[in-house]
């Protein structure tokens, strides 16, 4: 991939769409949909599908629907329906008035099933789930026909009606398509269309006790919404003949959408299955779906990722037919590019070391005007207080410094950003030898960090005034997993054995006083440290909690090169 020209050429989906348009197919219309099942929060993989579907609609002046694929009553919940809407909107997409639910079509889906029965294309089967499975055959050997395959249409209609009426127990019967038990495609061997499930649905309540399968509901829902291009992930490629078969049998549908498959997004050092993410939430391995370590949209948002960065990422990775794994570093690269221009600068200290300027008047305070952004004057300036006692970062002082260490040492002057040059005069330690304080002197002639005498000082470090700084909880995050592909359980180990025990570090630091009223969700670059976002859940007025969104550089890349 050439990062300088995202989506420069037409990907295969756009090629298909452009061909369809020039051939006048669907009257040139482009109508896509994003069809999540409301059984979990959306993750970065879904973002790829969202950007693709809504992006295509936008590019070709078409439409994209949001459709909840809610055909499985036991795993679905309104909490998810709400979070999904919030996340799609936050990503910057709009379904206008086209939010649909597969459950809205339950009656129509039932009537289409009756039509299939009437055409001799579906039958009620009494085999148990186990028999169904064992009779299905293998990819290399044909399946066995069900003893109920040749029931009369009247009997099938009667049994199907009674299935709906609740006369039978869960699993007692299914409605199956009547296709071909010898088909080389196992999905065409009389697949189930309806199952009995006496369960309460989050929208239809107790109205139904039979529920359509994904394969049956999805193609008809697409057709009912006049979808032109039904884009899904590669695992559905083998389902496509069934998608087409069902639509081909039925009368009364407005169109026959084209199913197109693309490779799903896989990312290093995380998992993307909703089932696994749910496990992390339920077993309290993380603090919830929106834990800033989660690859969910809600987690990324809380951590401080921007919708712009996620969209840019999705644009850069593009769409392809081949499975691949994308390095998390690319997402972080997009994020840094975006935050570099939009994040206000501020100073914060993660691990404080106190310094006292012995020649600075006691009780004196002065204010420095510091630009909020080094190259964007429109972001304005802020006032930052300076006084005799300051905090600097522990790692910005070394007693025995290596050659290329340009920060503060007993022998080396350093610049306090936008303030003064200082020299260390005395290192104070406790009984264990730990440095507790530095006594320094400042050069009053260097106000603003300037050197009128032209002397060269290489190092510039950040600082906060001890008397003015705001103590703040700062949360530092690392990868959630220590293994590149935790999803791969071929070594027989559960993915959770690879959870990174150090994925969260909570520290007490200090930030500029001006951040006291920083709004939840607002983002800053703490100079020299990285980008930080005010936590939207745990911050209280006057007490912001900061999440480190991302460091300024990819520290992992460095470590890995060394290793
Ligand atoms: P589950 O993990 O529960 O099996 P899912 O991740 O496929 O389900 P859905 O709610 O069915 O979740 O997904 C909605 C849409 O998002 C589907 O069109 C699906 O193909 C797409 N999608 C899901 N995961 C990814 C991914 N990693 N990359 C790209 N698209 C994805
Ligand atoms: Mg799915």
Q: Given this model, what pLDDT does residue 556 score?
A: 58
Using the mean position of ligand 1's atoms as its centre, give its distance from the Cα of residue 208 in Å.
26
- For residue range 69-92, list pLDDT tens digits in order: 999 998 889 999 999 999 999 999
> Which atom of ligand 1 is least distant from the CA of 37?
10
Smallest CA-to-CA distance from 95 within 68, 117, 64, 131 is with: 64
Ligand 1 atom 13: the closest Cα is on which residue? 36
Q: pLDDT (tens digit, 9 = 90+) per residue, 26-58?
A: 999 999 999 999 999 999 999 999 999 999 999
| CA–centroid distance, residue 105 to ligand 2 (Å) | 19
Domain ranges within the chain, ordered by starting residue: 10-262, 344-469
Identify the nearest ligand to the CA of 295 by its number: 1
Indicate the pLDDT class of residue 281, thresholds 50, 70 and 90. very high
Do residues 515 and 474 make contact, with C-beta atoms less than 8 angstroms apart?
A: no
pLDDT tens digits along 503-555:
999 999 999 999 999 999 999 999 999 999 999 999 999 999 999 999 998 76
The minimum-distance atom of ligand 1 relative to the CA of 42 is 10
How many whole angstroms from 214 Cα to the centroid of ligand 2? Answer: 9
What spacing in Å lies between the alpha carbon of 178 and ligand 1's midpoint?
28
pLDDT score recorded for residue 4: 42
Q: Whose CA is nearest to atom 29 of ligand 1?
A: 264
Examine the pLDDT at 558 and tell me if it is beyond 80. Answer: no
Q: Which of 70, 52, 66 shows the shortest CA–CA distance to 98?
A: 66
Q: Using an 8 Å Cβ cutoff, are 286 and 228 in contact?
A: no
* pLDDT above 70 (res 467): yes
Q: Cα(272) to centroid of ligand 1, in Å?
A: 9
> Ligand 1 atom closest to Cα of 48?
29
Q: Which of 76-80, 354-358, 415-419, 474-478 has the lowest mean pLDDT?
A: 76-80
Inter-residue contact 48 to 196 (CB < 8 Å): no
Report the atom number in ligand 1 closest to the C-alpha of 272.
Answer: 27
pLDDT recorded at residue 555: 65
The confidence score (pLDDT) of residue 6 equals: 44
- Residue with CA nearest ligand 1 atom 22: 46
- Which residue out of 33, 34, 46, 310 has the highest number of ligand 1 atoms within 8 Å of its CB and is therefore the one to mutate? 46
Phi, psi angle pair for 263, to nearest 5°: -75, 135
- Single out the residue of 249, 254, 245 nearest to residue 224, CA to CA: 254
Tell me how far the alpha carbon of residue 431 is from its chain's centroid.
48
Percent of the chain having pLDDT more than 70? 97
Which of 13, 32, 35, 49 to mutate for ligand 1's pocket (most ligand atoms within 8 Å of CB)?
Answer: 49
The yes-or-no verdict on residue 557 having pLDDT over 80 is: no
Q: Where are the alpha helices (DSSP H) in 91-168?
A: 106-118, 129-134, 153-165
Q: Give 170-225 pLDDT, tens digit per residue.
A: 999 999 999 999 999 999 999 999 999 999 999 999 999 999 999 999 999 999 99
Ligand nearest 42 Cα, by number? 1
Model confidence at 440: pLDDT above 50: yes
From first CA to last CA, the distance across the chain in angstroms is 26
Q: Which of 7-11, 254-258, 321-325, 482-486 has the lowest mean pLDDT?
A: 7-11
Q: What's the rounded Cα separation, in Å, for the pair 119 and 249? A: 8
Residue 346, phi then psi, degrees to nearest 5? -155, 170
Q: What is the pLDDT of residues 315-370, one digit of tens each?
A: 999 999 998 899 999 999 999 999 999 999 999 999 999 999 999 999 999 999 99
Q: Would you place residue 451 in the very low, low, confident or very high pLDDT band (cuts 50, 70, 90)? A: very high
Answer whether residue 262 shows pLDDT above 60: yes
| Mean per-residue pLDDT, 486-507 | 94
Q: Which CATH number fits domain 10-262: 3.90.550.10, 3.40.190.80, 3.30.70.260, 3.40.50.620?
A: 3.40.50.620
13 DSSP assignment? H
Give domain 344-469's CATH number out of 2.40.240.10, 2.60.40.1180, 2.102.10.10, 2.60.40.1930.
Answer: 2.40.240.10
Nearest CA owner, ligand 1 atom 16: 46
- What DSSP letter does each residue of 338-392 carry, written as one string? HHHHHPEEE-EESSEEEEEETTSPTT-EEEEEEESSSS-GGG-EEEEEEESEEEE
Helix, coil or strand: residue 53? helix
Kindly list the distances between the CA atom of residue 555 and the CA atoms of 312, 330, 336, 507, 550, in Å, as whole numbers in the listed order. 22, 13, 13, 19, 10
pLDDT in tens, 365-392: 999 999 999 999 999 999 999 999 999 9
Ligand 1-lining residues (CB < 6 angstroms): 35-37, 39, 45-46, 48-49, 232-233, 264-265, 272-274
Of all protein residues, the one whose alpha carbon is nearest to atom 18 of ligand 1 is 232
Residue of the CA atom closest to atom 10 of ligand 1: 36
Say if residue 74 is exposed, middle or buried (CB neighbours under 10 Å; 0-12, 13-18, 19+): exposed
Determine which residue's CA is closest to atom 9 belonging to ligand 1: 36
CA of 273 to the centre of ligand 1 (A): 8
Q: What pLDDT is stored for residue 539 in this prediction?
A: 98
Question: Which of 36, 74, 314 to probe ligand 1 with, by most ligand atoms within 8 A of CB?
Answer: 36
Q: How far is Cα 430 from Cα 533, in angstroms, rounded to an integer?
A: 35
pLDDT of amino acid 1:
41
Cα of 41 to ligand 2 centre, how many Å?
Answer: 12
Q: How far apart are CA 296 and CA 42, in angstroms?
A: 6
Percent of the chain with pLDDT over 90: 94
pLDDT the model gives residue 165 = 98
**CA–CA dist 87, 301 (Å, integer):** 9
pLDDT at 560 over 80: no
Q: What is the mean pLDDT of residues 274-302?
A: 98
Distance CA 563, CA 478 (A): 18
Nearest CA to ligand 1 atom 23: 46
Q: Report pLDDT for 285.
A: 97
The protein residue whose alpha carbon is closest to atom 3 in ligand 1 is 274
How many angstroms separate the alpha carbon of residue 380 from the centre of ligand 1? 43
- H or E stretch covering 122: strand 122-125
Q: How far apart are CA 429 and CA 397, in angstroms?
A: 13
Q: How far apart are the CA of 45 and the centre of ligand 1, in A?
A: 7
Q: What is the position in ligand 1's atom list of the atom closest to the CA of 274?
A: 2
Q: Are strands 174-177 and 192-196 parallel, antiparallel or unpaired?
A: antiparallel
Ligand nearest to the CA of 232: 1
Ligand nearest to the CA of 45: 1
Regarding predicted confidence, which is higher, 255 or 491? 255
Mapped to the 3 state alphabet, what secondary structure does 383-421 carry? Answer: EEEEECEEEEEHHHECCCCCCCCCCEECCECEEECCCCE
Catalytic positions are: 37, 264, 274
- pTM of the predicted model as reported, rounded to 2 decimal places: 0.94
């Amino acid at each position: 991939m050439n990062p300088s020209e995202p989506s420069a050429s037409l990907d295969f989906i756009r090629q298909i769409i452009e061909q369809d348009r020039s051939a006048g197919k669907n009257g040139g219309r482009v109508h896509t949909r994003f069809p999540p099942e409301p059984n979990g929060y959306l993750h970065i993989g879904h973002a790829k599908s969202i950007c693709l579907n809504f992006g295509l609609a936008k590019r070709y002046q078409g439409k994209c629907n949001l459709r909840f694929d809610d055909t499985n009553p036991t795993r679905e919940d309104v909490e998810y329906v709400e979070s999904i809407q919030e996340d799609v909107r936050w990503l910057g997409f709009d379904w206008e008035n086209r939010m649909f639910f597969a459950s809205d079509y339950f009656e129509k889906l039932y009537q289409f099933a009756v039509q299939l029965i009437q055409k001799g294309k579906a039958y009620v089967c009494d085999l148990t789930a186990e028999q169904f499975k064992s009779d299905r055959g293998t990819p290399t050997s044909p399946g066995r026909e069900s003893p109920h395959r040749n029931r009369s249409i009247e009997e099938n209609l009667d049994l199907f009606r009674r299935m709906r009426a609740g006369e039978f127990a869960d699993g007692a019967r299914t409605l199956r398509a009547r296709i071909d038990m010898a088909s080389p495609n196992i999905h065409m061997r009389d697949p189930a269309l309806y199952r009995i499930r006496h369960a309460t649905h989050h929208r239809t309540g107790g109205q139904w006790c039979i529920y359509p399968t994904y394969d049956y509901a999805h193609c008809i829902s697409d057709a009912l919404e006049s979808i032109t291009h039904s884009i899904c992930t590669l695992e559905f490629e083998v389902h496509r003949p069934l998608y087409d078969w069902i639509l081909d049998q039925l009368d009364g549908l407005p169109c026959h959408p084209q199913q197109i498959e693309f490779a799903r997004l896989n990312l290093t050092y995380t998992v993307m299955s909703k089932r696994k993410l749910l496990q992390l939430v339920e077993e309290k391995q993380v603090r919830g779906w929106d834990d800033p370590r989660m690859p969910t949209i809600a987690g990324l948002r809380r951590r401080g990722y921007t919708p712009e960065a996620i969209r840019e990422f999705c644009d850069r990775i593009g769409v392809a037919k081949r499975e691949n794994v994308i390095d998390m570093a690319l997402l972080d690269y997009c994020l840094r590019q975006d935050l570099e221009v939009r994040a206000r600068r501020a100073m914060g200290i993660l691990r404080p070391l106190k310094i006292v300027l012995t020649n600075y008047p006691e009780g004196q305070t002065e204010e420095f005007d510091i630009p909020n952004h080094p190259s964007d004057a429109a972001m304005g300036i802020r006032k930052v207080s300076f006084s005799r006692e300051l905090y600097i970062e522990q790692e910005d002082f070394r007693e025995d410094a290596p050659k290329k260490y340009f920060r503060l040492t007993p022998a080396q002057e350093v610049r306090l950003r936008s303030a003064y040059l200082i020299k260390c005069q005395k290192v104070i330690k406790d009984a264990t030898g730990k440095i507790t304080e530095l006594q320094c002197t400042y050069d009053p002639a260097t106000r603003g960090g300037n050197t009128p005498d032209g002397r060269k000082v290489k190092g510039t470090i950040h600082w906060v005034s001890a008397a003015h700084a705001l103590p703040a909880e700062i949360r530092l995050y690392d990868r959630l997993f220590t293994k590149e592909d935790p999803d791969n359980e071929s070594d027989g180990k559960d993915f959770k054995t690879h959870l990174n025990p150090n994925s969260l570090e909570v520290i007490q630091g200090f930030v500029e006083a001006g951040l006291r009223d920083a709004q939840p969700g607002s983002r800053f670059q703490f100079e020299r440290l990285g980008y930080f976002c005010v936590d939207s859940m745990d911050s209280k007025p006057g007490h912001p909690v900061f999440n480190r969104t991302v460091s300024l550089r990819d520290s992992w890349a460095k470590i890995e090169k060394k290793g």
